[in-house]
Amino acid sequence: MSGPDLVVLDQDARGVVTLTLNRPEAFNSLSEGLIEALQSALDRVARDPKARVVVIAGAGKAFCAGHDLKEMRAAPSLDYYERLFASCGRMMMSIQKLELPVIARVHGIATAAGCQLVAMCDLAVAASEARFAVSGVNLGLFCSTPSVALSRNVSRKAAFEMLVTGDFISAEQALAKGLVNRVVPAERLDAEVESIVARIVAKPRVAIAMGKQLFYRQLEVGIEAAYADAGRTMACNMMDEGALEGVQAFIDKRPPNWS
């Protein structure tokens, strides 16, 4: 049974939603309850027309240490494991399907499914002491589901090296590989997340929503289909009042009025 406190949801007046994983005593490992609670929170945000941006953070010393291995080992069965990984996969895909940009605020460690969670977020800002790994192979368990997200963020060889060695990489290495967008000292982490948030909420919600959906659709198809989809999306976006106002404001040499 999941409790409401496993994920703490805060929302400010701008529609910026912060979802804080709240199992600090277990390094925010993804128990069944936490997966369910995060899924519920994401579903709630998806239904909220006032929400604009989501920030996923972790309480305590870590961002997320992956799946709860003690829980996984307690009652092993193929059916249980298939259900567990399917529910985690649905939750991860909910991040991508959400119309809003999702930013990972990463401190401490992000390992295995925790690293997967960072990779599934649209953007990621890391504290300089953060570390990342897909380390299941060290326990004899190849991080297959994290590999799906990881291989869509970093190069194939970089992803495969992480997967077969289980080694940690630093925040700076994660930045160089493309797993995170920015790395800052821990005391500047919130300010750096806010700098991205402020840029996003200053833009029309419709344009961001249409753009995010198109961005991920086109990645999974051939280039001709991608251009066709992108053209249709831009045409629809151009008919939105926000885009028409933005273009007119450019012509008039004035700030756009998106109120």
Q: State mean pLDDT over 39-59.
A: 97
- For residue 243, pLDDT over 80 is answered with no
pLDDT value of position 143: 92
The domain total for the chain is 2
User: Which pLDDT tens digit goes with each residue over 149-208?
Assistant: 999 999 999 999 999 999 999 999 999 999 999 999 999 999 999 999 999 999 999 999
Angle between helices 78-97 and 113-120 in degrees, nearest 10: 20
- For residue 3, pLDDT over 50 is answered with no
| Average pLDDT score over the chain | 92
What CATH number is associated with residue 130? Answer: 3.90.226.10
pLDDT value of position 190: 98
Please tell me the distance from the alpha carbon of residue 160 to that of residue 179, in angstroms, as a whole number. Answer: 14
The least confident of 44-48, 63-67, 210-214, 241-245 is 241-245
pLDDT value of position 241: 85
Is position 258 within any domain? Answer: no
Both 68 and 128 in one domain: the answer is yes
Both 115 and 215 in one domain: the answer is no
Please tell me the distance from the alpha carbon of residue 66 to that of residue 26, in angstroms, as a whole number. Answer: 10
Both 97 and 176 in one domain: the answer is yes
Please tell me the distance from the alpha carbon of residue 258 to that of residue 241, in angstroms, as a whole number. Answer: 9
Q: Band the pLDDT of 250: cuts 50, 70, 90.
A: confident
The least confident of 45-59, 131-145, 153-167 is 131-145
Both 147 and 168 in one domain: the answer is yes
What CATH number is associated with residue 224? Answer: 1.10.12.10
Both 179 and 220 in one domain: the answer is no
Q: Band the pLDDT of 20: cuts 50, 70, 90.
A: very high
- Give the rounded percent of residues in the chain with a pLDDT score beyond 90: 75
Both 116 and 238 in one domain: the answer is no
Both 30 and 66 in one domain: the answer is yes
Both 140 and 221 in one domain: the answer is no
Both 115 and 238 in one domain: the answer is no
Is position 140 within any domain? Answer: yes
Is position 59 within any domain? Answer: yes
Both 10 and 96 in one domain: the answer is yes
> Are the C-beta atoms of 128 and 207 separated by less than 8 Å?
no
Both 223 and 191 in one domain: the answer is no
- For residue 1, pLDDT over 70 is answered with no
Is position 259 within any domain? Answer: no
Amino acid at 243: A
Parent domain of 120: 4-201
- Give the rounded percent of residues in the chain with a pLDDT score beyond 70: 98
Q: State mean pLDDT over 201-221.
A: 94
Is position 16 within any domain? Answer: yes
* Edge-to-edge order in the sheet of strand 109-111: 109-111, 131-133, 169-170
Both 247 and 141 in one domain: the answer is no
pTM confidence score: 0.91
User: Which pLDDT tens digit goes with each residue over 89-137?
Assistant: 999 999 999 999 999 999 999 999 999 999 999 999 999 999 999 999 8
